[in-house]
Amino acid sequence: MTSLGNEGRDGFSSRFGIICAAAGSAIGLGNIWRFPYIAGESGGGAFLLIYLGFILMLGIPVMLSEFVIGRRGQRNALGSFKRLAPGKPWYFVGVMGIIAAFMILAFYSTIAGWTLEYIVKAISNSFAGKSSGEIEQMFNAFHTQAFRPILWQLIFMFMTVWIIMSGVRQGIERYAKILMPFLVLLLIIMAIRSITLPGAVEGLSFLFKPDFSAVDSSVLLAALGQAFFSLSIGMGTLITYGSYIQKKNKLGNLAIEVSMADTLIAILAGVAIFPAVFAFGVDPAGGPGLIFNVLPGIFQQMPGGYFFAIIFFVLLSIAALTSSISILEVVVAYMTEELKMSRRKATIMSALAATFVGLFCTLSFGPLKGLTITGLSIFDLLDYTASNLLLPLGGLMIVLFVGWYMKDADFKDELSNKGLLKVRIFGVLMFLLKFIAPVAIALILLNSLGFIGPVDGGTEHSN
Ligand code: PHE
Q: What is the DSSP string of 129-194?
A: T--HHHHHHHHHHHHT-SHHHHHHHHHHHHHHHHHHHT-IIIIIIHHHHHHHHHHHHHHHHHHHHH
Cα angle for residues 235, 89, 356 (degrees, 5° grid): 40
What pLDDT sits at residue 16? 75
For residue 429, pLDDT beyond 60: yes
- Residues 307-335 have pLDDT tens digits of 999 999 999 998 999 999 999 999 999 99
For residue 91, pLDDT beyond 60: yes
Nearest CA to ligand 1 atom 6: 232
What pLDDT sits at residue 173? 62
Average pLDDT of 231-245? 96
Mutate to test the pocket of ligand 1, among 183, 229, 258, 315 (most ligand atoms within 8 A of CB): 229
For residue 205, pLDDT beyond 70: yes
pTM of the predicted protein model: 0.94
Ligand 1 contacts (CB < 6 A) are: 25-26, 28-31, 104, 229-230, 232, 235, 237, 323, 326-327
Right CATH for 15-448 from 1.10.3470, 1.20.1260, 2.40.30, 1.10.4160: 1.10.4160
Q: How far apart are CA 69 and CA 64, in angstroms?
A: 9
For residue 3, pLDDT beyond 60: no
Q: Quick one: CA torsion of 377, 24, 314, 276, rounded to 10 degrees?
A: 70
- Please report, rounded to a whole number, the percentage of residues in the chain having pLDDT higher than 70: 93
For residue 172, pLDDT beyond 60: no
What pLDDT sits at residue 453? 63
- Please report, rounded to a whole number, the percentage of residues in the chain having pLDDT higher than 90: 85
What does the domain layout of the chain look like in residue ranges? Answer: 15-448
Ligand 1 centroid distance, CA of 438 (Å): 22
- Residues 278-300 have pLDDT tens digits of 999 999 999 999 999 999 999 99
- Residues 104-147 have pLDDT tens digits of 999 999 999 999 999 999 999 999 999 999 999 999 999 999 99
Q: What average pLDDT does the structure give for the chain?
A: 92
Question: For ligand 1, what atom is nearest to the CA of residue 320?
Answer: 12
